[in-house]
């Protein structure tokens, strides 16, 4: 009877421990940052892939390809850090970002360009916020170094989206 009970309850006990055994750092500030940045990178890559098929504007096409290249490279760094810290990363977009990609895919021409660029402004503002949060509250030096490295890249992406959209702030006089 004890053996039978052990056979029945052992898998249940192991299953209840599995999340903590698989991703011990996922609830840390640094682990959450890596997960959030993955969602951001996935959105940038997928929305930019849509842009390559939808835009007729060479500057928007070049911007989208640059985003794919930069965010794919950044995600490679995130993957390496997450793997060494046993942080599980999302494989798909969260529903709200998937909805944005799907909405973009249904637009064409100037309407597409405007919506895509506006989404890039919002996404890169959010990305800068993620980086700042990590730099303020992070504990892991390597993860913080990634945030430091990516901050100027994201600032550049934001400025380019604003310029293409025609909403760039006026340069400050010094």
Q: Report yes or no on 119 lying in a domain.
A: yes
Query: Are 51 and 61 a contacting pair, CB within 8 Å?
Result: yes
Its pTM stands at: 0.81
Structural domain count of the chain: 1
Please tell me the distance from the alpha carbon of residue 19 to that of residue 31, in angstroms, as a whole number. Answer: 14
Local confidence band at 5 (pLDDT 50, 70, 90 cut-offs): very low
pLDDT at residue number 14: 35
pLDDT digits (tens, 9 = 90+) for 112-158: 999 999 999 999 999 999 999 999 999 999 999 999 999 999 999 99
Which residue, among 155, 147, 161, has the nearest Cα to 74 in the 3D structure? 147
Q: How many residues does the chain have?
A: 174
Instruction: For residue 144, give every residue at least 6 positions away whose Cβ sits within 8 Å of its Cβ, in sequence order, or none.
Output: 30, 134, 135, 138
Query: Domain holding 74: CATH number?
Result: 1.20.1260.10
Taking all residues of the chain, what is their mean pLDDT, rounded to a whole number?
A: 86
Question: Could you give the angle at which helices 109-137 and 141-165 cross, rounded to 10 degrees?
Answer: 150
pLDDT at residue number 167: 65
Please tell me the distance from the alpha carbon of residue 40 to that of residue 29, in angstroms, as a whole number. Answer: 16
Place of tokens 């430091």: 148
pLDDT digits (tens, 9 = 90+) for 81-113: 999 999 999 999 999 999 999 999 999 999 999
pLDDT digits (tens, 9 = 90+) for 18-70: 333 334 356 699 999 999 999 999 999 999 999 999 999 999 999 999 999 99
Q: Report yes or no on 118 lying in a domain.
A: yes
pLDDT at residue number 59: 97
Which residue, among 115, 83, 118, 89, has the nearest Cα to 102 in the 3D structure? 115
Local confidence band at 80 (pLDDT 50, 70, 90 cut-offs): very high
Local confidence band at 168 (pLDDT 50, 70, 90 cut-offs): low
- Expressed as residue numbers, the domain containing 33 is 23-86+110-165
């Amino acid at each position: 009877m004890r053996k039978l009970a052990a056979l029945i309850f052992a898998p249940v006990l192991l299953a209840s421990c599995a999340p903590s055994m698989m991703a011990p750092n996922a609830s840390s500030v640094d682990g959450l940052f890596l997960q959030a940045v993955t969602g951001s990178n996935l959105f940038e890559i997928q929305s930019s892939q849509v842009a390559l098929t939808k835009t007729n504007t060479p500057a928007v096409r070049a911007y989208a390809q640059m985003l794919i290249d930069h965010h794919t490279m950044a995600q490679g760094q995130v993957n390496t850090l997450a793997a060494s810290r046993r942080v599980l990363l999302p494989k798909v977009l969260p529903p709200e970002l998937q909805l944005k990609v799907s909405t973009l895919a249904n637009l064409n021409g100037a309407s597409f360009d405007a919506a895509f660029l506006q989404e890039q402004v919002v996404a890169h503002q959010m990305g800068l916020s993620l980086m700042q949060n990590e730099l303020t509250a992070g504990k892991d030096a390597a993860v913080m170094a990634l945030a430091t490295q990516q901050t100027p890249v994201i600032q550049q992406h934001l400025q380019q989206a604003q310029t293409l959209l025609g909403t760039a702030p006026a340069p400050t006089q010094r």
